[in-house]
């Protein structure tokens, strides 16, 4: 019986981070489209800032992608997406947090211009370039890519990296004129192609492309 509902939308990398973990663990779930920053009371009761993703479970709701992944790992330990040894588990979580906070969150300031037809100020561009250049050097000290981002096995760090690194690379290329990941020595394209062969990744991509086509058709009709 399906007991988990994943709420959000397939164009969100954090939504897909959770979706990929659910697929990797073969956990039954349904999906409910909820746009970010909803002001509906039913949504705010689950995610107080209106952010996605969040999940609904028989025990209640959970928001924040990493909290959800940690709960999934605790309630569905096999197949494991994190090492059993405590220090190695902490190293995987360290890598996830570094990707989410020091790469993706910085690059997110460029998304309005990169992906949504807006503009970001010159000051924002300079800040993003400075922070990303420094943070990518730090990321290289943590990431292994041997062949997965945390080592020899697929972990929740790959759920984060595979869904966010392409956005960091593309946004910096479009707005700053240079893919700062590639310039910094992070071959995210080869990594993304390798992980993209997994069934979970193929499902995420197929669903995202289907939603992109549906949204484009709706805009054309408007």
Q: How far is CA 86 from CA 39, 96, 100, 126, 204, in A?
A: 39, 15, 21, 39, 30
On whether both 168 and 69 belong to a single domain, the answer is: no
Band the pLDDT of 128: cuts 50, 70, 90: very high
Q: Where residue 148 sits, what CATH number does that domain have? A: 1.20.1050.10
Which pLDDT belongs to residue 143?
A: 98
Q: Where residue 12 sits, what CATH number does that domain have? A: 3.40.30.10
Q: How far is CA 67 from CA 30, 53, 195, in A?
A: 19, 11, 23
Contact 29, 58 (CB under 8 A): no
What phi and psi values does residue 119 have, to the nearest 5 degrees? Answer: -135, 145
On whether both 126 and 51 belong to a single domain, the answer is: no
- Give the global pTM: 0.95
On whether both 20 and 97 belong to a single domain, the answer is: no
Task: Check pLDDT > 80 for residue 222.
Answer: no
Report yes or no on 106 lying in a domain: yes
CA gap 132, 168 in Å, rounded: 9
Identify the three-state secondary structure at position 118.
Answer: coil
On whether both 66 and 104 belong to a single domain, the answer is: no
Report yes or no on 222 lying in a domain: no
Report yes or no on 38 lying in a domain: yes
Task: Check pLDDT > 80 for residue 1.
Answer: no
Contacts of 6 (CB under 8 A, 6+ apart): 15, 18, 19, 22, 29, 30, 31, 32, 53, 55
Report the number of distinct structural domains present in the chain. Answer: 2
On whether both 159 and 114 belong to a single domain, the answer is: yes
The pLDDT tens digits for 49-69 are: 999 999 999 999 999 999 999
CA gap 123, 130 in Å, rounded: 11
On whether both 71 and 91 belong to a single domain, the answer is: no
Domain that holds residue 28: 4-75
């Amino acid at each position: 019986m399906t007991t988990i509902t994943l709420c959000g939308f397939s164009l969100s990398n954090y939504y897909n981070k959770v979706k990929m973990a659910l697929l990797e663990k073969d956990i039954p779930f349904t999906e409910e489209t909820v746009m970010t920053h909803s002001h509906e009371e039913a949504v705010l009761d689950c995610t107080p800032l209106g952010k996605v993703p969040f999940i609904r479970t028989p025990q209640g709701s959970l928001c924040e992608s990493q909290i959800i992944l940690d709960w999934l790992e605790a309630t569905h330990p096999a197949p494991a997406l994190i090492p059993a040894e405590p220090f190695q588990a902490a190293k995987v979580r360290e890598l996830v947090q570094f990707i989410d906070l020091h790469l993706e969150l910085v690059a997110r300031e460029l998304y309005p211009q990169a992906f949504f037809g807006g503009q970001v100020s010159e000051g924002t561009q300079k800040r993003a370039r400075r922070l990303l250049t420094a943070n990518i050097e730090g990321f290289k000290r943590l990431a292994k890519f041997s062949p997965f981002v945390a080592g020899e096995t697929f972990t929740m760090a790959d759920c984060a990296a595979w869904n966010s690194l392409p956005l960091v690379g593309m946004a910096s290329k479009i707005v700053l004129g240079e893919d700062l990941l590639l310039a910094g020595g992070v071959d995210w394209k080869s990594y993304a192609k390798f992980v993209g062969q997994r069934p979970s990744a193929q499902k995420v991509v197929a669903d995202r492309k289907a939603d992109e086509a549906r949204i484009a058709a709706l805009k054309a009709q408007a």
